[in-house]
Amino acid sequence: MKLLAGNSNRALAEDMARFLKLPLVKAVVRRFADMEVFVEIQENVRGEDIFVIQSTSFPANDNLMELLIVIDALRRASARRITAVLPYFGYARQDRKVGPRTPISAKLVANLITHAGADRVLTVDLHAGQIQGFFDIPTDNLYAMPVIVKDITDYLGQGNLMVVSPDVGGVVRARALAKRLGADLAIVDKRRERAGESEVMNIIGDVEGRSCILIDDIVDSGGTMCNAADALLREGAKDVCAYATHGVLSGGAVARIKGSKLKSLVITDSIAATEEIAKCANIRRISIAPLIGEAMRRINNEESVSSLFD
Ligand code: R5P
């Protein structure tokens, strides 16, 4: 088995390599003057079981193109099996037609990765589980949940906790976390009664005096988490912490989180952290390198991956 890192999240790839006690394949991934991507694999990979590690995070198009070109280079170099390891799968939120004449970009990107030559995909907390079916190759969707549960137990203990889904779409995920923690569940129900009117946040559940834990797959602008925190505190919650697998944190998100009433936002390292994120006092990062590393080891050994979550 060999590991090859793209440029999107080198630190995570190095942590996985350390976990597996393997060096990263020597490769050059660089740009021509016109920004076209050039890849050269600098060691023999013929007959190898190769894992290409690349999050298709910001800049999503560049990182995606880099992934496709690396896969093409490996295929032409006769790698036996190529697994695209996508700690964060970008474009996942475009998973259905939102109106007439709109694309389903998640499916398009899945096709691109498959046609480039990937034999398998390994990813974490897909925005919607059914995106797995967009790939016509074996796809393992890991859950960051065990890592999140451990962090909550270490940092927040288990008393007086209330798990909260920040929107109705995230209830299944929140319920799973609540079950694991033996905690109660509440839901933030966002409603805009009429176009142009501001959103009304109704809380389903009694959060008075409770330590609330918001859980989501993605935190992007931070709006969902910060608004939910405000609504929970208005309803008498004692404090609010937030957990999200993928810290997309675009635009002014970090400043927004910093100025919010969130006690903390915990994200994983599925996306490389900017300096601003690393320096933000109420954002903390936990690592999923051992989780993905163990899944890669099991794939290489033809062992069960699902039993990681039993
Ligand atoms: C939406 O369905 C996702 O699960 C997240 O809630 C969303 O992407 C968060 O976006 P933002 O941080 O911009 O509110």
Amino acid 190: pLDDT: 83
User: Distance from the CA of 44 to the center of ligand 1, in angstroms?
Assistant: 42
Q: Is the CB of 227 under 6 A from ligand 1?
A: no
Exposed/middle/buried for 57, CB within 10 Å: 0-12, 13-18, 19+? buried
Catalytic site includes residue 190: yes
Amino acid 108: pLDDT: 98
User: Distance from the CA of 219 to the center of ligand 1, in angstroms?
Assistant: 5
How many other CB atoms are found less than 10 A from the CB of residue 45?
20
User: Distance from the CA of 218 to the center of ligand 1, in angstroms?
Assistant: 5
Q: Is the CB of 223 under 6 A from ligand 1?
A: yes
Nearest atom in ligand 1 to 167's CA = 6
Q: Is the CB of 218 under 6 A from ligand 1?
A: yes
Paired sense of beta strands 184-191 and 161-165, if any: parallel
Instruction: Determine which one of 107, 190, 258, 261 is catalytic.
Output: 190
- 212 neighbors 183 (Cβ within 8 angstroms): no
Exposed/middle/buried for 112, CB within 10 Å: 0-12, 13-18, 19+? middle
As a whole number, the mean pLDDT across the chain is 95
Backbone angles phi, psi at 257, to 5 degrees: -65, -45
Q: What's the CA gap between 67 and 52, in Å, rounded?
A: 8
Please write down the long-range contacts of 277-281, taking CB distance under 8 Å and 24 or more positions apart.
Answer: 277/247, 277/249, 280/254
Q: Is the CB of 125 under 6 A from ligand 1?
A: no
Q: Class of 145-287 per CATH?
A: alpha beta
How many other CB atoms are found less than 10 A from the CB of residue 194?
5
Alpha carbon nearest to ligand 1 atom 5, residue: 218
Alpha carbon nearest to ligand 1 atom 2, residue: 169
Taking only the tens place, the pLDDT of each residue in 244-254 is 999 999 999 99
Q: What's the CA gap between 204 and 190, in Å, rounded?
A: 11
Nearest atom in ligand 1 to 216's CA = 4
What are the residue ranges in the chain where pLDDT is below 50? Answer: none
For residue 129 the two structure tokens come to 């589980």
Nearest atom in ligand 1 to 219's CA = 12
User: Distance from the CA of 129 to the center of ligand 1, in angstroms?
Assistant: 16
What is the Cβ-side half-sphere exposure of residue 301, based on CA atoms within 13 angstroms? Answer: 10
- Contact partners, residue 303, CB within 8 Å, separation at least 6: 297
- In single-letter form, the type of residue at position 78 comes to S
Q: Is the CB of 252 under 6 A from ligand 1?
A: no
Q: What's the CA gap between 198 and 297, in Å, rounded?
A: 49
Q: What's the CA gap between 187 and 38, in Å, rounded?
A: 47
Where along the chain do the CATH 3.40.50.2020 domains lie? 2-142+290-309, 145-287
Considering the domain delimited by 2-142+290-309, tell me its CATH architecture.
3-Layer(aba) Sandwich (3.40)
User: Distance from the CA of 280 to the center of ligand 1, in angstroms?
Assistant: 20
Distance from CA of residue 149 to its chain's centroid? Answer: 16
Q: Is the CB of 124 under 6 A from ligand 1?
A: no
Nearest atom in ligand 1 to 223's CA = 14
Report H helices in the chain: 10-20, 60-76, 105-116, 145-156, 171-181, 223-234, 253-258, 275-279, 289-300
User: Distance from the CA of 143 to the center of ligand 1, in angstroms?
Assistant: 18
Q: Is the CB of 216 under 6 A from ligand 1?
A: yes
Amino acid 236: pLDDT: 97
Taking only the tens place, the pLDDT of each residue in 224-233 is 999 999 999 9
Paired sense of beta strands 200-204 and 211-219, if any: unpaired
Q: Is the CB of 224 under 6 A from ligand 1?
A: yes
